[in-house]
Chain A
Amino acid sequence: MTNSNPYSPHTDADRAAMLKRVGIKTVDELLTAIPKDALRPKLGLPGGMAEIEVQTHLEALAAQNRPAGAGPFFIGGPVQRRYIPAAVPVLALRGEFLTAYTPYQPEVSQGTLQAVFEYQSLMSEVLAMDVVNSSMYDGSTAVAEAAFMAVRATGRKKVVVAREVFYQFRHTLRTYARGPGLEVLEVPTRDLVANAEGAACLIVQHPDSFGALVDVRPIAQAAHAAGGLCVQVTEPHANALLEPPGALGVDIAVGEGQPLGIPMSLGGPHLGIFAAREALVRQMPGRLVGETKDARGTRGFVNTLQTREQHIRREKATSNICTNEALAAITAATYLALMGPTGLRAAARTGVAKAHALAARLAAIPGCAIALDGPFFDRFQLRTPLPGRDLKHALAKVNVLVDDGLHHEERDGIVIQCTEMTSDSDADALVSAVERITAGAREAVTAR
């Protein structure tokens, strides 16, 4: 018999010897607990493939997708097309990181533990926050966990979230809130302060989902004055240039860490950033790596404050999270180590500069205007003479990809994200396509 599992090391002689040692003739003798009619069912799954066949099959599927790099690309939001230094995947995808488990045995897991400790340290510096955990699933579940943590810390059951928080994050928060039955109130950012009374937390995003800069300090002050906490949804690159959450009076900072060297991969696996003030550390969800010493007095690292976690506290744990996104945290650590402060600033600045240059050109097109009252960062919403959705589809027809409204009930338009990957020719292509399409739309209106 040849192996149907190409990764099996067992020859028929091996199997025969193993059966003999167990004292049986076939494995079926071990399966007596399984009812006969449930044993070895025919499932109707396809037959196996050789590696070369599976590679070819999946390359064909991959070829049916339009990669971001295949033309002008301005979609962004929580997931961004950022430059990934060549060394990042080489390091983060090393087998010793990739194929290790959670570091339950610290003596043989120092690579993971130190790399995650470095992630916590680097991210803490970026956010100017005291404590960063070793990751949540993504930005949206980090927001939901932040709300749960504020509920634990305050004993209140209402959370107030700004409508300009990424809609994916708001929707996930709504779903999570159904679990313990929390009240979630969505209000415009400008109304957060007026709704602080009785809230476990105010959740604000800066820069917001449309790219606008938000004055977080008065929101944090209002939350504190009302006995609640302030949660800021942030973006890693923005912190290179903007005053970070820790300097704005924020208690919990959360966000999507994908832009830190992690591929977009259709939305996952990504990195939920979760940071808090030191006073709140024992309410935090997720794993934390701490420094300690071994029996010989040598510095080492371990998972710590584990009495918060489900494997110790079960139903009294701060969260149910077990498997997290550790590899993404390690990836982010390699990214930040390679980029350094200069590289991180350069990437952030380039996005800002390109967004502002592009905004000026697009706003000069008749019928188009920037749909923001104040300053913005590296993305912006453009109000256009035709519905955002129609313009988005018309642009896609000429291979220019943009996003339309971000599920905000009152605002329509297209949203343009720039990063260091936005080229001048991409920008030219977008401007001329918008000119052409909106001119056509205006003529159609005039003709009518």
Chain B
Amino acid sequence: MTAIRTQVVPESGVKTALPALEPLLSEIHQAGRAGRHVRGGEDADALIPKEFRRRASLDLPEISEPQVVRHFTHLAQLNYAVDTGMYPLGSCTMKYNPKVNDRIASLAGFADIHPRQDDDTIQGALRLLFELEQLLVKLTGMDAATLQPAAGAHAEFTALLVFKAYHSKRGDGAKRHRVIVPDTAHGTNPASAAMCGFEVTTVKSDANGNIDLASLKAALGDDVVGLMLTNPNTLGLFEELGFDCIHINVHKTFSTPHGAGGPGAGPLCVKAKLEPFLPHPRIIRDTDGSYRRGPMPPDSIGRVRSFFGNFGVLVRAYTYMRTLGEEGLAEASNDAILAANYLLAQLRDSYDVAFDRPCMHEFVLSASRQRRQGVSALDVAKALIDEGFHPPTVYFPLVVPESLMIEPTETEPRETLDAFAAAMIRIAERAKTDSASVKAAPLHAPLARLDEVSAARYPKLKWQRPT
């Protein structure tokens, strides 16, 4: 049971209903309430020698199924999600996640298969993966792909290991120890380089938001392992380059759901010269048309995870690509670029534009003007929550002060884009006239702003045991 909560909006005195919060599972617990989903095996304890048996208590909460269902349903209702509204989180590509993809991924023929089954019992799955590799290779203009990386950062780490193996094979692995990343790069880029034992050289962006070519040239040398770039870059701008290796986050581009932070999948596509180094196992199509997992190639970097990828995610990506086809994918990109520029056009008078040129699928505004009025990018973000929208990405990329990174995607209707723009403009107006009200936001979310400083200073990372 949850109490109805209200709060009084300070400036107007209006009483507002707030969504009810949920107690913790440990607070719902009552001894003797556990469900009966599985039973049996009562005589098994005798099969385990005494010295191995659990003596520590196992105080998991005991809760009936109806209570568990309500608990997690209520928790779900406290979340903002693509299914509930526009989620213009820049660099995250929160487009609609088609439901048919989820249904297909849960078919028994896909969900109930074990990765240690023999190849001849999983031919359909291997074919799907092989075809997905081909689709991605064609799409990126590369020569080969691995579907194994579980996420973008995992793909970066895999790519750098591939680079390392490539340089070692050529005999200059020892001297190459620096990775170049632009200052606009996502934090995973330098972190992945560090995990590979490399030094990071950061290169500045120019006035147009591109990597500064003079700085880049100055940074190059025969001790460089590689260059990591996002394209279109994290400012939403396109850079012209020739890549040896490209990774794609299917949980962005190819509509697979983000799952509250993951799972994702980050297939890696490479040019032929890097193919021998890709992770094991690779999927091979035999001359008779059957598929199998190949043996470990001599130059492969090896295994980067237990099995060959977040299959359930990859099934969704494949389904999406087959649904849209070439024309649909091109149209999606077209619409995403148009939607971003359409929003930019509506917002450019109310906020500073970081780089004033046509953007690709996303763009970066700066709340510097609002900052001078006492309202930060974070305040704008929180005020958007009260307007019914998920905030954009704030304070990334780091090169733009008070940045608000906005990515509307191709799946938001024009009226939603208009409503979002109107909300952003209203907030900009309030920043001029009533900055205190913006700083007080959110007033209508389940919670007001949270104290992150105390959370870090006195970490409380689990509940107390149920009593």
**Is the pairing of A and B real?**
yes
Chain B CB within 8 A of A54 CB: yes
Q: For residues 150 through 200 of chain A, which have their beta carbon under 8 Å from a beta carbon of chain B?
A: 166, 168-169, 171-172, 174-176, 178-181
A111 touches B79 (CB 8 A): yes
Chain A CB within 8 A of B205 CB: no
Stretch among B89-97, B268-276, B365-373 lining the A interface: B89-97
A121 nearest CB across to chain B (Å)? 4
B41 touches A349 (CB 8 A): yes
Which residues on the A side are within 8 Å of B36 (C-beta)? Answer: 342-343
Most B-side CB within 10 Å, residue of A57, A118, A139, A396: A118
Contact partner of A141 (CB less than 8 A), chosen from B43, B305, B442, is B305
Kindly state the separation between the CA atoms of A242 and B381 in the bound complex, as whole angstroms: 48
Which residues on the A side are within 8 Å of B112 (C-beta)? Answer: 67-69, 81, 263-264
- One digit per residue, 1 when the CB lies within 8 angstroms of any chain A CB and 0 when it does not, for chain B 70-84 equals 011101111111111
Chain A CB within 8 A of B156 CB: yes
Which residues on the B side are within 8 Å of A327 (C-beta)? Answer: 257, 259-263
Chain A CB within 8 A of B14 CB: no
Stretch among B211-219, B337-345, B424-432 lining the A interface: B337-345
A107 touches B307 (CB 8 A): no
Chain B CB within 8 A of A312 CB: yes
Chain B CB within 8 A of A125 CB: yes
With A131-B461, A266-B125, A353-B41 in contact, is A35–B240 under 8 Å at CB?
yes
Contact partner of B325 (CB less than 8 A), chosen from A47, A139, A246, is A47
With A15-B338, A172-B306 in contact, is A64–B462 under 8 Å at CB?
no
Which residues on the B side are within 8 Å of A124 (C-beta)? Answer: 461-462
Closest to A258 in B: B306
A93 touches B102 (CB 8 A): yes
Chain B CB within 8 A of A283 CB: no
A108 touches B319 (CB 8 A): no
Kindly state the separation between the CA atoms of A45 and B304 in the bound complex, as whole angstroms: 29
B322 touches A314 (CB 8 A): no
Q: How many residues of A contact B (CB 8 A)?
A: 208
Closest to B140 in A: A43
- One digit per residue, 1 when the CB lies within 8 angstroms of any chain B CB and 0 when it does not, for chain A 311-343 equals 111111101111111111010011011111111
Chain B CB within 8 A of A65 CB: yes
B44 touches A108 (CB 8 A): no
Chain B CB within 8 A of A431 CB: no
Which residues on the B side are within 8 Å of A366 (C-beta)? Answer: none
Which residues on the B side are within 8 Å of A232 (C-beta)? Answer: none
B261 touches A268 (CB 8 A): no
B319 touches A58 (CB 8 A): yes
Q: For residues 1 through 40 of chain B, which have their beta carbon under 8 Å from a beta carbon of chain A?
A: 7, 21-22, 24-26, 33-40
- One digit per residue, 1 when the CB lies within 8 angstroms of any chain B CB and 0 when it does not, for chain A 201-216 equals 0000000000001010
Which residues on the A side are within 8 Å of B414 (C-beta)? Answer: 9-10, 14, 17-18
Kindly state the separation between the CA atoms of A342 and B41 in the bound complex, as whole angstroms: 11
B52 touches A45 (CB 8 A): no
Chain A CB within 8 A of B56 CB: yes
Which residues on the A side are within 8 Å of B385 (C-beta)? Answer: 105, 107-108
B313 touches A268 (CB 8 A): yes
Kindly state the separation between the CA atoms of A61 and B123 in the bound complex, as whole angstroms: 8
Most A-side CB within 10 Å, residue of B48, B83, B325: B48
B69 touches A87 (CB 8 A): yes
Kindly state the separation between the CA atoms of A137 and B25 in the bound complex, as whole angstroms: 25
Q: For residues 432 through 467 of chain B, which have their beta carbon under 8 Å from a beta carbon of chain A?
A: 442, 445-452, 454-456, 459-463, 465
A110 touches B446 (CB 8 A): yes
- One digit per residue, 1 when the CB lies within 8 angstroms of any chain B CB and 0 when it does not, for chain A 1-32 equals 00111111110001101110111000101111
Kindly state the separation between the CA atoms of A93 and B51 in the bound complex, as whole angstroms: 40
Kindly state the separation between the CA atoms of A322 and B264 in the bound complex, as whole angstroms: 10
B302 touches A294 (CB 8 A): no
B376 nearest CB across to chain A (Å)? 14
With A269-B150, A349-B42, A353-B43 in contact, is A110–B187 under 8 Å at CB?
no
Q: For residues 33 through 72 of chain A, which have their beta carbon under 8 Å from a beta carbon of chain B?
A: 33-35, 38, 40-49, 51, 54-55, 57-69
Contact partner of A320 (CB less than 8 A), chosen from B156, B313, B390, is B156
Chain A CB within 8 A of B139 CB: yes
Chain B CB within 8 A of A96 CB: yes
Chain B CB within 8 A of A122 CB: yes
Chain A CB within 8 A of B399 CB: no
A328 touches B263 (CB 8 A): yes
Which residues on the B side are within 8 Å of A108 (C-beta)? Answer: 78-80, 385, 390, 442, 445-446
With A34-B238, A100-B81, A304-B456 in contact, is A269–B263 under 8 Å at CB?
yes
Kindly state the separation between the CA atoms of A4 and B329 in the bound complex, as whole angstroms: 8
With A107-B446, A263-B106 in contact, is A330–B455 under 8 Å at CB?
no
Contact partner of A96 (CB less than 8 A), chosen from B83, B186, B309, is B83
Chain B CB within 8 A of A135 CB: yes
With A315-B200, A342-B34 in contact, is A97–B76 under 8 Å at CB?
yes
A244 nearest CB across to chain B (Å)? 6
Kindly state the separation between the CA atoms of A1 and B122 in the bound complex, as whole angstroms: 40
Q: Which 9 A-B pairs have the closest CB atoms?
A: A267-B307, A62-B109, A349-B41, A64-B124, A48-B325, A327-B259, A95-B83, A340-B34, A326-B261
B52 touches A243 (CB 8 A): yes
Kindly state the separation between the CA atoms of A187 and B76 in the bound complex, as whole angstroms: 46
Which residues on the B side are within 8 Å of A43 (C-beta)? Answer: 138-139, 326
Q: For residues 60 through 96 of chain A, which have their beta carbon under 8 Å from a beta carbon of chain B?
A: 60-69, 73, 75-79, 81, 83, 85, 87, 89-96
Chain A CB within 8 A of B352 CB: no
A174 touches B302 (CB 8 A): yes
Contact partner of A97 (CB less than 8 A), chosen from B51, B260, B325, is B260
A293 touches B451 (CB 8 A): yes
Contact partner of B258 (CB less than 8 A), chosen from A19, A99, A301, A403, is A99
Kindly state the separation between the CA atoms of A302 and B450 in the bound complex, as whole angstroms: 7
A266 nearest CB across to chain B (Å)? 4
Contact partner of A347 (CB less than 8 A), chosen from B38, B255, B261, B449, is B38
Which residues on the A side are within 8 Å of B452 (C-beta)? Answer: 106, 292, 302, 304
Which residues on the A side are within 8 Å of B139 (C-beta)? Answer: 43, 45
Contact partner of B323 (CB less than 8 A), chosen from A54, A292, A317, is A54
B48 touches A242 (CB 8 A): yes
Given contacts A22-B345, A264-B112, 14 further A-B contacts (CB under 8 A): A10-B410, A22-B342, A68-B112, A99-B258, A122-B60, A168-B307, A269-B310, A290-B456, A306-B456, A315-B200, A320-B153, A322-B152, A323-B258, A352-B48
Contact partner of B459 (CB less than 8 A), chosen from A181, A290, A343, A356, is A290
